Amino acid sequence: MSQRNKLKKFADILRFPNVYENFHPLHPHLQNGEQKELIMKGKWNEDHFKKEAKLCLELACGRGEYTLALGEKYTDTHFIGVDIKGARIWQGAKHALDKDLNNIAFLRTRIESISSFFEKGEVDEMWITFPDPFLRDSKENRRLTSHNFLNRYLNFLHPQNQIHLKTDSPELYEFTLESLGSYEKARIIEHYDDIYSLSELPNPDLVFQTYYERKHLADKKTIKYVRFELDLE
């Protein structure tokens, strides 16, 4: 992508009404469209979506392909794709605007800051789709299923929560099982190291494939899935 094209997309998302951006990681304010800085923590349903509904996040959403697919399927649920890459978010946000998918929004921020933007109990479900596996041992704490991030999720998940991980990385898959197994508040519901070797998909929503999943499958990689919950009691 040319620098000029990238800069145009950054300018576009500053005006998109379905994109919220955080420019200061230690500051909980968000910017949206032509509005002034906003505090959205605890107010997503009321202030953005304008009605109460279940709220689902996709972390490391990239182009927002899973957010879009789920949002089109479950129109009575609200979805927010979260990523730091503005040019990628542009694609998902523009598609949602073009299709009038009013139950979809995007949040541009570092996921390390995620708990600054959601209130306790506000998020019902999360998808983590093909995140960076951070293969160097020195970066294990940056993996989105590490204790480091599980602790953050406790700050905003609903007591009846579901978290889904979809990855092609055997290292991240094994790490996730070990991380959840040693985390007192985690309970693994199901896990599979090759979902397409099964007679049927364990979750119908696994049928959606992102650009990266299609690429991994073309490279003969297997797709792994873990579903778990965190105990907030």
Domain residue ranges in the chain: 3-19+43-230
> How far apart are the C-alpha atoms of 216 and 197, rounded to whole Å?
15
Residue-by-residue pLDDT tens, the chain, 233 positions: 556 676 677 677 878 999 999 988 778 899 998 667 899 999 999 999 999 999 999 999 999 999 999 999 999 999 999 999 888 899 999 999 999 999 999 999 999 999 999 999 999 999 999 999 999 888 899 999 999 999 999 999 999 999 999 999 999 999 999 999 999 999 999 999 999 999 999 999 999 999 989 999 999 999 999 999 999 97
3-19+43-230 maps to CATH 3.40.50.150: yes
**What is the full DSSP assignment across 161-179?**
EEEEEEES-HHHHHHHHHH
Q: Which tens digits make up the pLDDT trace of 87-133? A: 889 999 999 999 999 999 999 999 999 999 999 999 999 999 999 99
Neighbours of 222 (CB within 10 A): 16
Q: Of 47, 83, 124, 132, which residue is the catalytic one?
A: 132
Return the H-helix or E-strand segment holding 67: helix 65-73
132 part of the active site? yes
Tell me the β-bridge partners of 135: none
